[in-house]
Amino acid sequence: MSDERIALDKKMILERYRALIHALDERSTAQDRRMVRRAVDLALDAHKGVRRKTGEPYVLHPLEVALIVLQEIGLGPTSATAAILHDVVEDSDYTLEDIERLFGEKIARIVDGLTKIKGVFDPQASEQAENFRKMLLTLGDDVRVILVKLADRLHNMRTLDGMPEGKQAKIASETLYIYAPLAHRLGLYNIKTELEDLSLKYTEPEVYRDIERRLKASVASEYRFLKRFSAPIRAMMEQEGLKFTLKERTKSISSIRKKMINQGVSFDEVYDKFAIRIILDTDSDQEKAAIWKVYSIVANLYRPNPERMRDWISSPKSNGYESLHTTVMGQDGHWVEVQIRSRRMDEQAELGMASHWKYKEEEVVDNRLESWIKMIREALESPDSNALEFVDDFKFNLFSDDIFVFTPKGEIKTLPKGSSPLDFSFEIHTDIGLRTLGAKVNGKLVQLNYKLRSGDQVEIITSAKQKPKEEWLHFVVTSKARTKIRASLQSERRSVAERGREILERKLNFVKVKPSEKVLQDLTNFMELPDSQELFYQAGMELLDNEKLRAFAREQGGGFLTQIRNRWRRPANDARGEAKTPGAAQPTRLVFGPEEQALEYKLSPCCNPIPGDAVFGFLTASEGIKVHRTDCPNAIALRSRFASRVMSARWISAEVSEFVAVLRVRGIDTVGLVNKVTQIISNDLNVNIRSINIHGEGGLFEGSITVVVGNKVHLQNIMQEIRKVDGVRSVERHVRE
């Protein structure tokens, strides 16, 4: 290595170290700074000579993570030291005992948790869900483990350009699936937003670049508008003698993308891309009065949208977020979101649950945090719970809004929005949940699938004879309720299956078939059941068809079973070595993997990819390779949960083929509009229309058009021409959730 390169490395490391010391503000002691310096020295030795994919010295990564911990999450020297050391045990000869001897038990405990997490997301692992469950167990030891891990993930996302494209998509999908929701739940909104933006950059790069370009093109005019909008508010607040800070901003790229998808609109039709935040300097006992005073000033100047009012100062979110949000009509017909909060609330909003460590890095007791961790541990209790189901349930509870309901004695319970009386009963106690017979809400009997609302008072009716039913899983949303119901059902199912095996073996002996393990597996396949446990369960429930059982006995010993097994097998290649999609004689359109092999595949109906779309292959358990678009609604979950089963895919040129695409069209209902659209598609563009379904109401229309196209460029040309029709406001390609 050249002297110049060595000098440059030293300069970069020294700059980061000085930034670290500067970030340790006046609350840190000389002892804290010495501890950080010792950690940096140890990290330098442990990572000596190692470089990242970007070419930088590896030690810059833990230093940057420590800076995020200090500056963006607001933790102190203990967490910063753990961040500096977070890769040392995994990547060098230093042991956890060395860390404890040099830095104490507390830092060693955090480093231990971070070391365990590093092995959780093994890029070679076929499924990540079981390991994710293990990661969450560290929450009970010290939440700072997760906070430092979020900082680690944020820096990795910021430097993802140095990774191969496939790895980028996998890491970004994993980030969207778990880490962004975790940051949301912990109240780290800035980090959550940046993680979502960076993830979108790598999962849907074209969409990200398009929105980014549009925002940059309009940013100057938007900020001029916001300055003009906020000027009268500033003047009125100053006149009232209020002390405040007012910030103008535009929404994030990922937030705009979500609105475009959820509302089915284009970028130009997202009506509240603008926002201002008013932060009040006021005493804690005067906070609410001051906030409502500012709201009255805003409402007097601009017309509020009553459906967009969010009062989180009267009822804070479960992660502690407090703020008053309103959306008002500004000048030129633009909607603007106004957020009003106190300085204390703003700090809580910026740092979330991490704010408890801002002034002291001691063990902190927080009721919201304790109840959340308790929920996680209860969900993890059951050894029989399915890991993938747990992760899905957990993710839902991370992002869900909260409602507040009351017991008959007036005790308040916090539940996710959409909860039922069953969720409430399991929140009270597991035994009450398992024996729930009915429920009264506000004194009236309701069904168990009733959706609770904030302010409801709930009384649970129980019976010692009641047992959970399969349909209950459709009524509940909380992880605790789903886990307990599944565990109870599985326990009952195992008992039935044990009886069923004995019954089945007696039946097989009766038809002169010896019930060996191979025979039982062959019978499972013959009955077209997923596994032998289901076979035993159906036998125990007396659901097996005895005639089919006798048919199985007659066919034992011959080639029938072989025919059954081979019935669905098709060669991947024909005589010329060309792969074919099942049931079709079309030429190869896709190649898979780094070696670009021609393999058998099916186009997934959930997103209906066509040539030109960015796609990937997913190896299913029973249907071979299914091809999905990279922006498919299922893409994030597939890439995050089953990374090793995802295959890169690329379209190759072949003979012209036809593909079906569905367009969702919206706009203003005008005379002859359908005729104009169909004429453009059929006559002008000479495209075949498979079906068209358009309906209008209240002066607006919405509908779908199914067309047959050759490739993505062909489809984009059609969409561009339809957008030119007078009255058409948006044309989007439709995918099924």
End-to-end CA distance of the chain: 53
Burial of 690 (0-12, 13-18, 19+ CB in 10 A): exposed
**DSSP designation for 695:** E
Burial of 177 (0-12, 13-18, 19+ CB in 10 A): buried
Are residues 183 and 151 in contact, defined by beta-carbon separation less than 8 angstroms?
no
Round to whole Å and give the CA distance between 615 and 629: 4
Phi (first) and psi of residue 360, to 5 degrees:
-140, 135
For residue 176, give the 3-state DSSP assignment.
Answer: helix
**Residue 90 annotated to the active site:** yes
Round to whole Å and give the CA distance between 501 and 505: 6
Are residues 321 and 312 in contact, defined by beta-carbon separation less than 8 angstroms?
yes
Strands (E), 423-544: 436-441, 444-446, 458-462
Are residues 68 and 154 in contact, defined by beta-carbon separation less than 8 angstroms?
yes
Round to whole Å and give the CA distance between 457 and 243: 40
**Nearest-CA neighbor of 483 among 377, 376, 385?**
385
The single residue of 90, 98, 100, 272 carrying the catalytic annotation is 90
The single residue of 15, 26, 32, 91 carrying the catalytic annotation is 91
Round to whole Å and give the CA distance between 682 and 632: 28
**Nearest-CA neighbor of 188 among 28, 417, 357, 326?**
357
- Give the rounded distance of the alpha carbon of 664 from its chain centre: 25
**DSSP designation for 680:** I
Round to whole Å and give the CA distance between 375 and 379: 6
Long-range CB contacts for residues 604-609, cutoff 8 Å, separation at least 24:
604/628, 604/632, 604/634, 605/736, 606/632, 606/633, 606/634, 606/735, 606/736, 606/737, 607/631, 607/632, 607/633, 607/634, 607/635, 607/735, 607/736, 608/659, 608/660, 608/661, 608/662, 608/735
Q: Tokens 């009886």 correspond to what residue?
A: 499
Are residues 494 and 470 in contact, defined by beta-carbon separation less than 8 angstroms?
no
Identity (one letter) of the amino acid at 692? I
Q: What b/e string do you get for 348-359 counting C-beta neighbours within 10 Å, with b at 16 or more?
A: bbbbbbbbbbee
**Residue 721 annotated to the active site:** no
For residue 224, give the 3-state DSSP assignment.
Answer: helix
**Which residues are catalytically annotated?**
90-91
